[in-house]
Amino acid sequence: MTDQGKVAYIFPGQGAQSVGMGQDIFATDDTARQVFHDADQVLGYSLSDMCFNGPEGDLTKTIHTQPAIVTTSLAYYQATANTLRERPDWQPAFTAGHSLGEYTALAVAGALDFQEAIWLVGERGRLMQEAGEKSGGGMGAVLGLDAISVEEVCQETGMEIANINSDDQIVISGPKDAMARALDMAKARGARKVIPLRVGGAFHSSLMESAVEGMKHAMKKVTLRQPTIPVIGNCTGKPLTKVEDIEAELLQQLCESVQWSQSVRYMAGQGVQTFLEIGPGRVLSGLVRRIESEAQTVNVGEAKALEKLAS
- Our answer to whether residue 204 is catalytic in this structure is yes
Considering the candidates 64, 73, 98, 99, report the single residue annotated as catalytic.
99
CA 167 to chain centre: 18
Q: Where are the domains of the chain?
A: 6-133+205-310, 137-197
Domain 6-133+205-310 in CATH 3.40.1160.10? The answer is: no
pLDDT of residue 3: 64
CA dihedral over 203, 164, 95, 17, signed as positive or negative: positive
Residue 98 CA to residue 11 CA, distance in Å, equals 6
Catalytic residue among 173, 204, 261, 263: 204
Topology of the domain covering 137-197: Alpha-Beta Plaits (3.30.70)
In DSSP terms, 166 is beta-bridged to: 169
Mean pLDDT, the chain, whole residue set: 96
What integer is the mean pLDDT of 190-211? Answer: 96
Say how many C-beta atoms besides its own lie within 10 A of residue 53's C-beta: 14
pLDDT surpasses 80 at 4? no
Q: Would you say residue 1 has pLDDT above 70? A: no
Active site residue 257: no
Q: Where are the alpha helices (DSSP H) in 18-146?
A: 23-28, 30-43, 47-53, 56-59, 62-83, 101-108, 114-135
Q: What is the pLDDT of residues 178-192, one digit of tens each?
A: 999 999 999 999 999
In order of 14, 36, 124, the CA distances from 40 in angstroms are 19, 6, 17
Write out pLDDT tens, residues 150-183.
999 999 999 999 999 999 999 999 999 999 999 9
pLDDT in tens, 73-100: 999 999 999 999 999 999 999 999 999 9
